[in-house]
Structure 1
Amino acid sequence: MKLWQIVGGTALSLTLAGCAQHHEAPAQQPPVNTAASPATEPAITGPNVSGSVFINQRVALPPDAVLTVTLSDASVSDAPSRVISQKVARTQGKQAPFSFILPYNPQEIAPNARVLLSAAVTVNGQMTFVTDSIKEVINNGQGTRADLQLVPVVAVPVATKPTALGPMSNPANPGMESSQAPISAVPTQPTY
């Protein structure tokens, strides 16, 4: 009886060993890294604006923080800035300073254009740090290398409801509700 167990066990072992030799191990793929680091970025050979982003406050950014660096044309004063180039990257736990390289097409920039560089850090969709001053680059002899300083965003409380119950007061006419207009029997005439 033991002979059959030994023969069966040996046959099973040989079968499993034979199958194991026919399977190839899957090829190891390097992990995908989306962090903002110069070693992982392709070399940019064309015109570009480069620099570093510093944070004035000693604070550790969470791993899900997102850094956005933007190169924009603010030449038209009554219109929004036109984005020329932008880089968005998760910090993945890395801390400031962050290096950036923004490629641009010189043909898209007029000689008298006001080209600005800005940056922001968001955490969970909330802006937490922004550039503290305007950095003009490229035109007017400004060059293509600039460093940015980020400062904390100050939260400003905005009242959404009146704090007191009842109608809002009208400082111009005390005692009147804000929705009522003053009533006058005689129409007002402009005074010159």
Structure 2
Amino acid sequence: MAKIEGTVFYRERIALPPNAVVEIQLEDVSRADAMATVMATLTLNSENGPPYAFSIDYDPARIDSRMTYALRASIRVDDKLMFTTMDYTDPFSGNPVSVLVRRVPSNP
């Protein structure tokens, strides 16, 4: 197994409740006409952050140099999406990787 290490962070100056969950996924995003294929997933609690340090394990044998991969992160509270990535984050740009999540507008 190989590892991608980094942090998930947001710019808002707010504290999350203790039941917030941070999820990081390594995805194959090569096909524009299909949903991303999840290659690895890591779930963390939000007790020690932000920023939220992570180390996600993946199988390097499943990585094809011809394909495009991305890190996606989200933060949920009571299964409600609060923050998510909105920009491409290259997982192989060097360790550690910084993943910015942005606040999702709430529905009335």
User: TM-score, length-normalised on structure 2?
Assistant: 0.90
Correspondence list, 1:60-79, <5 A: 60-79=15-34
> Given the superposition, is the C-alpha separation of residues 137 and 95 from structure 1 closer, same or farther in structure 2, using an over 3 Å criterion?
closer
Alignment partner of 1:151 is 2:106: no
Alignment partner of 1:107 is 2:61: yes
What letter is aligned with 1:50? E
Count of matched residue pairs: 108
- Max Rg structure: 1
Give the percent of matched residue pairs that are identical in Structure 1 and Structure 2: 27
Structure-1 separation of matches of 2:40 and 2:97: 15
Q: Which has a greater percent of helix?
A: 1
Gaps of 5+ in 2: none
Is the 1:73–1:84 contact (alpha carbons within 8 Å) kept by the matching residues of 2?
Answer: yes
Q: Which has a greater percent of strand?
A: 2
Is the 1:52–1:98 contact (alpha carbons within 8 Å) kept by the matching residues of 2?
Answer: yes
Secondary structure of 1:107's counterpart equals helix
Residue 145 of structure 1 and its aligned partner are, at CA, apart by 3.2
Residue 156 of structure 1 and its aligned partner are, at CA, apart by 5.2
Residue 54 of structure 1 and its aligned partner are, at CA, apart by 1.1
Structure-2 separation of matches of 1:101 and 1:94: 14
Correspondence list, 1:42-121, <5 A: 46-91=1-46, 93-121=47-75
Structure-2 separation of matches of 1:156 and 1:63: 22
Q: After superposition, what is the alpha-carbon deviation per residue over 1:120-173, rounded to whole angstroms, capped at 9, x for unaligned?
A: 1000111001123110223xxx3353101121101356xxxxxxxxxxxxxxxx
Structure-2 separation of matches of 1:57 and 1:150: 10
Structure-1 separation of matches of 2:86 and 2:11: 10
Residue 106 of structure 1 and its aligned partner are, at CA, apart by 1.3
Structure-2 separation of matches of 1:60 and 1:94: 11
What letter is aligned with 1:124? D
Structure-1 separation of matches of 2:90 and 2:4: 11
Gaps of 5+ in 1: 1-45, 158-192
Give structure 1 regions of 4+ aligned residues with deviation exceeding 6 angstroms: none
Structure-1 separation of matches of 2:106 and 2:90: 27
User: TM-score, length-normalised on structure 1?
Assistant: 0.53
